[in-house]
Amino acid sequence: MTVSRDIPVGVVQDIEAQETDEVVLVFLRISHRQLPEDLRIVSDGADYVMDGATWRGFEFDIRLLSDTDAPPRTELTVQNVDVRIGEAILAIDGPARLDLDVVAASQFNLTVEPRVALGPSVERIYTARHLALVDVRGDVLQLTGTIRSWDYTQEAWPSMRATQDSFPGLYL
């Protein structure tokens, strides 16, 4: 059984297209108890201010999370041009938490530095929360890691998750 996500096909095609009418920005927030503060990066060369926080312009390669029967996952590749980010991510033990937002660049004033939102809030095209950044590897050129969500088909004892055994009605 494939669980459908409510992402219009046109939006997915725009986000993943080589060329598009609308420039989309991917905002990533990486947090971990060992980091002094959250790492906020955006897939552009310029810094942005969104929701009262500054997001550092930092180009990276990412695709939307998979949409199959398996737990959602994707790969993240970041050029290792800022040693501080690479050292911070490689030094943490265990998975880092990652939140992802995709926002149209047209919602920002692109003539100022840092870029600021044109309105009081921005509309997200795509959002994924509570992801885990795992299997991080790095060298002098780039950092790569796997982004995955919780596997809700696994029972975490003594906690309870929405597995087929516990909640069969969800799997009809």
Quick one: pLDDT band at residue 1, thresholds 50, 70, 90? Answer: very low
pLDDT tens for residues 110-162? 999 999 999 888 999 889 888 988 888 887 788 888 898 866 555 555 565 66
User: What's the token pair of residue 97?
Assistant: 């938490």
Mind giving me the DSSP string for 62-122? E-PPP-SSSPPEEEEEEE---HHHHHHHHH--SPEEEEEEEEEGGGEETTSSSEEESSSS-
> What does the alpha-carbon distance between residue 85 and residue 66 come to, in Å, rounded to a whole number?
26
Q: Cα dihedral sign for 14, 15, 19, 20? A: positive
* pTM, rounded to two decimals: 0.74
